[in-house]
Amino acid sequence: MTPLVREIFGVSFANPVLLAAGTCGFGRELSEVLDLDVLGGFVTKSVTLEPRWGNPAPRVSEFPGGMLNSIGLANPGVEVVRKEKLPWIRERVRRAKVFVSVAGHSPEEFEEIVLRLDGEAGFVGYELNLSCPNDARRSSLPFALDPEALVEVLGRVRERTDRPLVAKLAPNTPDFPRMAGLAHQSGADGITVVNTIPGYLSRPEGGASALGAGSGGVSGPLLRPVGVHAVRSVVASVPLPVVGVGGVSRPEHVLEYLAAGASLVQVGTATFADPRAALRVIRGLDRIGGLPERDVPTAVFPEVAMNQEKGVDG
């Protein structure tokens, strides 16, 4: 067994456990109940070019296997994030490594968001939300299911930053190796799998949708086999660090993802039920005595590590 520390993307993570995008806001939302610096890191709520108020209520519906949600990427927009959210992170988060989740209606929007944020310090890199099923304004396939769109998003963003880019792929892609390979060829430095699965629940009393927006994304325990399968598929197809997410609530779930080849693991829906769920997972890994020994693919970004430590612009 080895210590919990992970060296990925040219920086040191205190442990492999991160909070997934959309489960912790911009960190401040959980800071009074959870010491963020105990975490390996966290991914912010997805940032869009303009503010989004989200989908109509109800936005969440639970069922025995997990949760169905349709939040609608509610967030204050890139300028508020740049002027208010990132300064708070710079001042308060010392050890945990932060990734900014980016979402958009078009490749141009992804590019513009990164362009506006890249001069700011306090975060390691970007997780590109290419697979969110809740974006009502994009009538065609999600970016993660459209090879040409995926390539264009990554190509545009890659030209705007030297920071690590992690592409978050969809769980319902028919060909993980192909999409991960295209992401790699287009400049991705890592892959996150998986996002939520599109789903629908009806109200028992009348048959209407359980969610205000109709359909939503399925997450929770039943997503874990899908996530582990996706990690195995991606690890076998590209020489990049892979971040596993889906159904993680116990330390053994982290070990399962790591055994499949993941370099880092995100806790998602479990945080809604217990904001300290990730802390319990980390403590459980400590009690186990560390992580299994294995070789982990890494991407080296020495300038990112230096800037993160000094708190200077990336």
Q: Give the residue numbers marked as catalytic.
A: 132
CA dihedral of 98, 57, 278, 96, whole degrees rounded to 10: 10
Helix (H, G, I), strand (E, B) or coil at 119: coil
Q: What is the DSSP string of 226-280?
A: HHHHHHHHHHTT-SS-EEEESS--SHHHHHHHHHHT-SEEEE-THHHH-TTHHHH
Which amino acid belongs to residue 258? L
- Only one residue has tokens 């308060």, namely 92
Please state whether beta strands 190-193 and 165-168 pair in parallel, antiparallel, or not at all (unpaired).
parallel
Q: How far apart are CA 141 and CA 217, in angstroms?
A: 15
H/E element holding 68? Answer: strand 66-69
Tell me how far apart the 2 most distant CA atoms of the chain are, in Å. 58
Sheet containing 197-199: order of strands: 60-63, 66-69, 216-219, 197-199
Closest Cα to residue 98, out of 25, 161, 154? 25
Neighbours of 225 (CB within 10 A): 12
Cα dihedral sign, 229-230-233-236: negative
